[in-house]
Amino acid sequence: PARPRVFSGIQPTADSFHLGNYLGAVRHWVALQDSHDAFYCVVDLHAITAGHDPKVLHQRSRVAAAQLLAVGLDPERCTLFVQSQVPEHAQLAWVLGCITGFGEANRMTQFKDKSQKQGNERASVGLFTYPILQAADILLYQANAVPVGEDQRQHLELSRDLAQRFNTLFGPTFTVPAPHIVKSTAKITDLQDPTAKMSKSSSSPNGIVDLLEDPARSAKKIRSAVTDTGREIVFDEETKPGIANLLTIFSALSGRGIDDLVAAYDGKGYGDLKKDLAEVVREFVVPIQERTRSYLDDPAQLDKLLADGAEKARRVAAPTLLKAYERVGF
């Protein structure tokens, strides 16, 4: 039987992914390559919804793709591409937008959060319709499953509603996607504010560990990570969120269980844990940085790889769009 299809995307909004992006999302993409027919997209159309610099956008898409390859995505085992190179995304989004209620779109809480941050008058219509484009991303590939974090649940719910509504209005066309919940999905918190998530849009630079930054810089950030005034290394997200976060990162990057780590640090101090974690991070990122650099050293080859990915993606996206257009009556 055919493997279930999975779709996921990530925005090229920064010069590097951070540990939250890797441990919360991208790591699972690598694992899903073999169990699923996986489509992974650098979503640059989404990246222009909140203002951007045209001089760096294309390069950021390359850097995003290079990192995805460096952490283990293999173009032989998945389809990796850049969203703007597959015009069907925007084309389907228009159709889906025409069956989305204004009130329905208006209930998306992420828009409320993001537009408030920008000042409501300045927020773009693109930011408002972002979840509709996201639905198009998923439905174009007839994805069965979408790996999502808690923050994306509402958007996936909209994708499901739109798929069902379209199918009811115009005839069976789209697979209704289900959330793929990864139990071990780690939520990584801000090193400076361990009650908030590590986020490129809201964390301070010292709260974030970037995959591509100098490991000496990461070590410094880890050393100054906010913990608590206690001394005991135990895993308790409620009372010791800072230590719990460091243990989560340590465990995920080293493959050692949390219990094993807690036992190993019995009687040792926070300083020992931080020092060793910095070393684990260094060992993890150095080869990723080397591989990322080698992809970026040959932009023509990287662009070719992404063009091939887009061609592969279009082989699925184009027939889906055609079918949807026929159903609509075009």
Active site residues: 114, 197, 200
Please check whether residue 231 is in contact with residue 215, taking contact to mean a CB–CB distance below 8 angstroms: no
In the complex, the smallest distance separating the C-beta of residue 260 from ligand ADP, rounded to whole angstroms, is 22
Looking at residue 25, the DSSP 8-state letter turns out to be I
Containing H/E element for 305? helix 299-328
Query: Based on CB atoms, which residue is closest to ligand ADP, 175 or 245?
Result: 245
Q: Sheet holding 37-42: strands in order across?
A: 79-82, 37-42, 5-10, 145-147, 178-180
Query: Based on CB atoms, which residue is closest to ligand ADP, 43 or 278?
Result: 43
CA distance 191 to 262: 19
Q: Which amino acid is at 287?
A: P
In the complex, the smallest distance separating the C-beta of residue 4 from ligand ADP, rounded to whole angstroms, is 19
Report which residue's Cβ sits closest to ligand ADP: 24
Containing H/E element for 282? helix 270-296
Residue 263: which region, alpha, beta or left (left: phi > 0; alpha: psi -120 to 50)? alpha
Looking at residue 292, the DSSP 8-state letter turns out to be H
Q: Is 199 annotated as a binding residue?
A: yes
Please check whether residue 211 is in contact with residue 22, taking contact to mean a CB–CB distance below 8 angstroms: yes
Interface with ligand ADP (CB under 6 A):
10-11, 20-21, 24-25, 149, 151, 187-188, 197-201
In the complex, the smallest distance separating the C-beta of residue 192 from ligand ADP, rounded to whole angstroms, is 13
Q: Is 150 annotated as a binding residue?
A: yes
Q: Is 200 annotated as a binding residue?
A: yes
Please check whether residue 42 is in contact with residue 10, taking contact to mean a CB–CB distance below 8 angstroms: yes
Q: Is 142 annotated as a binding residue?
A: no
Query: Based on CB atoms, which residue is closest to ligand ADP, 200 or 312?
Result: 200
Containing H/E element for 8? strand 5-10
In the complex, the smallest distance separating the C-beta of residue 215 from ligand ADP, rounded to whole angstroms, is 19
Please check whether residue 175 is in contact with residue 37, taking contact to mean a CB–CB distance below 8 angstroms: no
Query: Based on CB atoms, which residue is closest to ligand ADP, 42 or 139?
Result: 42
CA distance 1 to 179: 21
In degrees and rounded to multiples of 5, residue 298 shows phi and psi of -125, 75
In the complex, the smallest distance separating the C-beta of residue 227 from ligand ADP, rounded to whole angstroms, is 18
Query: Based on CB atoms, which residue is closest to ligand ADP, 79 or 248?
Result: 248
Establish how many alpha carbons lie within 13 A of residue 91's alpha carbon, considering only the half-sphere containing its beta carbon.
17
Q: Is 151 annotated as a binding residue?
A: yes
Q: Which residues are annotated as a binding site for ATP?
A: 11-13, 20-21, 149-151, 188, 197-201
